């Protein structure tokens, strides 16, 4: 079975990204207008803690997704490092697939429970300190409990996304995401207008993953597939053996994600302890909006990831690098357009909606956007390297995360730079190594330089545009 991408897959990818972001963009004016500065601050702090405990996923989601792609592409066995090249049209090893599904379900049940315990213990202590003992916001303790439960269920059902994308059901995966986002938007509007405030936002987060699980199950477990995999009784030893294979690189990705968290999120985590609520809200708003820009810009790259894994299995390197260059060309274009739009339209739009949180000065927004453009660029190159089941950037990621964590603390503790200090620390630590290293590795693998890579991306974009027209 070959993983192919249609125009519908790409179109649904962008629609899904829009709706995913719309849960933030469409509801953001209401949140900024109807919630107090303290509630906005608490919301960003909860999101930050939630993203921290999500690191307990420890790289399993992308590993399950890629290995499911390998199975559907004809691999008869999975390896800890590298992939089994398949040049023939092989059938699917349904026993291996069934084992993979059972293993994924087993892993995520336990991750979800660990996350819930951590959030209700250490997370509660942090939020209590950041909110003066849950006194800054009415019902803040209940809000935190509801948000903790929503994080648990989001992680508990997370493997369904890996199943869909791994099977090549890109459009179906995006539809599930769209329907879930739409339900979440409706619920958020409803709860906010009924006066529930931040509690309503948390309740919408709690109910949404159940909708996603129901829709994803419907798309993946067709009658034919259920019949084929139900014939196998998977032993505990089979699950353990497969877990060891997945864990080999999942633990590396988990450490990378830990470093990535320190790089992108630790700043606001520390800001909650050092800066005023208005500064935290301002910094969090900038991170959210630039993150949205980066998410939109990376949509095509994300859609193509199963295709990249499939081409790796088939050893079609010529088409592989062309497709990658094309997705990166779109990434650069959309990121630049998004940044320009944010700088020009962001501040006046916040005034129009009567936002209780404002963006930092334009100079800081521009600097942070440039840093995040370089961040997104090398992150996509690093993710591309992972498609060959190799992860060479664990130590550099951890070192960068530690450096940014220490630098952010020192900046907040001993200087008056505030948000600017957090931005500068992140940019300086990344430009030293990661910003140039992983693009260089990919270019070296395919024997091209970066200008040639950019030219290739431009040509592929032009050719695909001509074909589309």
The candidate with the shortest Cα–Cα distance to 176, out of 307, 116, 167, is 167
Element of type H or E holding 83? none
Which of these, 379, 377, 369, lies nearest to 338 by C-alpha position? 369
Taking the C-alpha atoms of residue 143 and residue 137, their distance in angstroms, rounded to an integer, is 9
Cβ contact 166:69 at 8 Å: yes
Mean pLDDT: which of 120-134, 238-252, 403-417 is highest? 403-417
Distance spanning both ends of the chain, measured CA to CA: 29
- Res. 132 pLDDT band, cuts 50 70 90: confident
What does the pLDDT read at residue 230?
Answer: 83
More confident residue, 47 or 378: 378
The CA distance from 125 to 421, in Å, is 26
- Do 22 and 215 touch, CB atoms closer than 8 A? no
Question: If you compute the radius of gyration of the chain from its CA atoms, what whole number of angstroms results?
Answer: 22
State the average pLDDT over residues 256-273. Answer: 70
**Which of the four pLDDT bands, split at 50, 70 and 90, describes residue 21?**
low
pLDDT, tens digit, 9 for 90 and up, residues 313-344: 778 888 999 999 999 999 999 999 999 999 99
Q: Above 80 in pLDDT, residue 48? A: no
Q: Considering the entire predicted model, what is its pTM?
A: 0.65
pLDDT of residue 324: 94
pLDDT tens digit sequence for 64-113: 887 888 888 777 777 776 666 655 556 788 888 888 888 888 888 888 88
Cα angle 418-422-423, degrees, rounded to a multiple of 5: 115
Q: How far is Cα 466 from Cα 40, in angstroms, rounded to an integer? A: 46
Average pLDDT, stretch 268-283? 82
Domain extents in the chain:
7-468
Burial grade of 78 (CB within 10 A; 0-12, 13-18, 19 or more): buried
pLDDT digits 0-9 by tens, 94-108: 888 888 888 888 888
| 309: pLDDT strictly greater than 90 | no
pLDDT in tens, 152-178: 998 888 888 888 888 878 778 878 888
- Residue 54 is given by DSSP the state G
pLDDT at 459 over 60: yes
Give the 3-state DSSP-derived string for 291-337, with helices as H, strands as E and coil as C: HHHHHHHCHHHHHHHHHHHHHHHHCCHHHHHHHHHHHHHHHHHHHHH
Residue 416: CB atoms within 10 Å: 8
Quickly list H helices, 315-449.
Answer: 317-352, 362-386, 394-414, 419-431, 434-445
């Amino acid at each position: 079975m070959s993983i192919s991408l249609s125009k519908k897959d790409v179109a649904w990818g962008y629609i899904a990204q829009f709706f995913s972001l719309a849960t933030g963009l469409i509801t953001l004016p209401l949140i900024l207008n109807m919630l107090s500065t303290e509630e906005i601050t608490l919301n960003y702090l909860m999101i930050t803690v939630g993203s921290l405990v999500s690191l307990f996923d420890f790289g399993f989601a992308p590993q399950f997704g890629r290995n499911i792609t390998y199975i559907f592409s004809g691999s008869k066995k999975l390896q800890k490092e590298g992939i089994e090249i398949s040049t023939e049209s092989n059938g699917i090893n349904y026993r291996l697939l069934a084992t993979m599904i059972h293993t994924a379900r087993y892993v995520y049940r336990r991750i979800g429970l660990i996350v819930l315990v951590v959030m209700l213990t250490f997370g509660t202590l942090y939020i209590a300190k950041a909110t003066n003992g849950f006194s800054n916001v009415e019902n803040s303790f209940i809000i935190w409990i509801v948000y903790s439960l929503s994080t648990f269920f989001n992680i508990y059902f997370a493997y369904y996304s890996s199943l869909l994308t791994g099977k090549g059901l890109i459009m179906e995966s995006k539809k599930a995401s769209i329907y879930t986002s739409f339900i979440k938007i409706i619920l958020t509007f409803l709860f906010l207008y009924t006066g529930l405030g931040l509690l309503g936002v948390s309740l919408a987060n709690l109910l949404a993953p159940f909708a996603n699980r129901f829709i994803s199950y419907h798309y993946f477990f067709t009658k034919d597939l259920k019949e084929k995999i139900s014939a196998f009784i998977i032993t505990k030893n089979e699950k353990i053996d497969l877990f060891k294979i997945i864990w080999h690189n999942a633990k590396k990705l988990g450490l990378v994600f830990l470093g990535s968290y320190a790089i992108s999120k630790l700043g606001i985590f520390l800001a909650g302890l050092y800066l005023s609520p208005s500064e935290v809200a301002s910094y969090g708003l900038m991170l959210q909006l630039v993150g949205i820009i980066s998410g939109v810009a990376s949509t095509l790259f994300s859609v193509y990831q199963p295709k990249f894994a499939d081409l790796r299995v088939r050893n079609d390197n010529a088409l592989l690098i062309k497709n990658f260059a094309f997705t990166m060309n779109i990434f650069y274009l959309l990121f630049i357009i998004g940044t320009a739009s944010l700088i020009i339209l962001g501040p006046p739009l916040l005034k129009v909606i009567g936002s209780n949180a404002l963006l930092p000065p334009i100079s800081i927004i521009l600097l942070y956007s440039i840093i995040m453009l370089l961040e997104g660029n090398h992150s996509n190159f690093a993710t591309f390297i992972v498609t060959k089941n190799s992860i060479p950037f664990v130590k550099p990621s951890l070192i960068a995360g530690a450096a940014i964590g220490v630098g952010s603390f020192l900046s907040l503790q001993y200087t008056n730079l505030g948000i600017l200090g957090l931005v500068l620390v992140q940019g300086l630590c990344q430009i030293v190594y990661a910003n140039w290293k992983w693009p260089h590795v990919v270019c070296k693998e395919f024997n091209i330089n970066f200008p040639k890579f950019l030219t290739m991306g431009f040509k592929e974009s032009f050719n695909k545009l001509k074909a589309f027209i």
